[in-house]
Amino acid sequence: MKTILVTGGAGFIGSAVIRHLIEQSDHTVVNLDKLTYAGNLESLNGVDHNPRYNFEQEDICNPLGLQRVFRVHQPDIVMHLAAESHVDRSIDGPAAFIQTNIVGTYTLLEAARKYWEKLPQDKQAQFRFHHISTDEVYGDLGGSPGLFTEESPYAPSSPYSASKASSDHLVRAWFRTYGLPTVVTNCSNNYGPYQFPEKLIPLIILNALEGKPLPIYGKGDQIRDWLYVEDHARALCLVAAEGRVGETYNIGGHAEKQNLEVVQCICELLEELAPNKPEGIKHYRDLITFVRDRPGHDRRYAIDASKIQAELGWAPAETFETGLRKTVEWYLENQTWCERVQDGSYRRERLGVGA
């Protein structure tokens, strides 16, 4: 039994990690989250009353707050997921990405290092700092048939991916310079339950159900490797427990799809699962709308996940087809969660503001 500190645990991937840890292990979990717009504690309903679950509302940029959390909870593992992560938002306002993803990671690394240096030798040897990153740091594969490996050079294209690349470099520097036992993972596009509806798949599902346009950038020919979030959570917990110190592991879903193809698949599933369409809509696919492409849009990402499979025995349990069906079914069955996110009531109530 260990104590695991998860930063960003009220976010999409972080909440999946915490649900997995509480439901599938005996570990104690400390959820550290600032609760920005994308942090939703309702994503942890069902595990948040477990005696092994603890919540700390704290900013990773606050060194004194971090020192207190480390002192009080004495974590054995840090899983660092707290980040600004939406590319469009990074283009409109990059400052928050620099602050959270770079300065925040530095502040957390320093808090972890100072805590780790005072641990007994046996505890030092067992401690891990697991930094969770993205395949977007590698840039654009373009029309190349290749895959991103752990040795691929960094070539980030957006303020978001540049800030994540910076944080990756900081983590590796703290390992090399100070000996802090770190491990890094870079994942492909996640999808699944509890994803904030600014992202492609939940946006398309919810827009379709309301009869709104289904926006697709450019021609919709951008290719992404899609990873079901619960498969990702399982991989992250495995790396945190068994990954080799100083190593990087790429995590992918083996599911390359063009964005247009993803939207068309969602439309087909909704025809089956939600046949009662909004008034005036004959087919969901008729709502597809092509919009101007965003600046610097990468053409293709694809992950070579052979290292984590060979070393740790991980492989995705879900295909894109099974994972997408589960995702669409979840959004259809959890309309209250969706409505509270869309109308902002999940935040207003948390802040003590009347809905």
> Residue 245 and residue 238: Cα distance in Å, rounded?
13
So what's the pLDDT on residue 350? 59
Alpha helices in 249-305 (DSSP H): 259-273
Domain ranges of the chain: 3-191+227-253+302-319
Active-site residue, from 56, 59, 76, 136: 136
So what's the pLDDT on residue 91? 94
Architecture (CATH level 2) of domain 3-191+227-253+302-319:
3-Layer(aba) Sandwich (3.40)
So what's the pLDDT on residue 354? 38
Greatest C-alpha distance within the chain: 68
> What H or E segment, with its residue span, contains residue 109?
helix 104-117
Contact 156, 134 (CB under 8 A): no
So what's the pLDDT on residue 294? 87
Residue-wise pLDDT tens for the chain (355 aa)? 999 999 999 999 999 999 999 999 999 999 999 999 889 999 999 999 999 999 999 999 999 999 999 999 999 999 999 999 888 899 999 999 999 999 999 999 999 999 999 999 999 999 999 999 999 999 999 888 899 999 999 999 999 999 999 999 999 999 999 999 999 999 999 999 999 988 999 999 999 999 999 999 999 999 999 999 999 999 999 999 999 999 999 999 999 999 999 999 999 999 999 999 999 999 999 999 999 998 989 999 999 999 999 999 999 999 999 999 999 999 999 999 999 988 888 776 655 543 3
3-state secondary structure 29-43: EEEEECCCCCCCHHH
Active-site residue, from 106, 138, 160, 228: 160
Active-site residue, from 33, 76, 135, 304: 135
Give catalytic status of residue 286 as yes or no. Answer: no
So what's the pLDDT on residue 143? 81
- In b/e form, how buried is each residue of 194-227, taking b as 16+ CB within 10 angstroms? bbbbebbbbbbbbbbbeeeebbbbeebebbbbbb
So what's the pLDDT on residue 351? 56
Give catalytic status of residue 160 as yes or no. Answer: yes
Closest alpha carbon to 194 in 334, 294, 28: 334
So what's the pLDDT on residue 142? 86
Give catalytic status of residue 135 as yes or no. Answer: yes
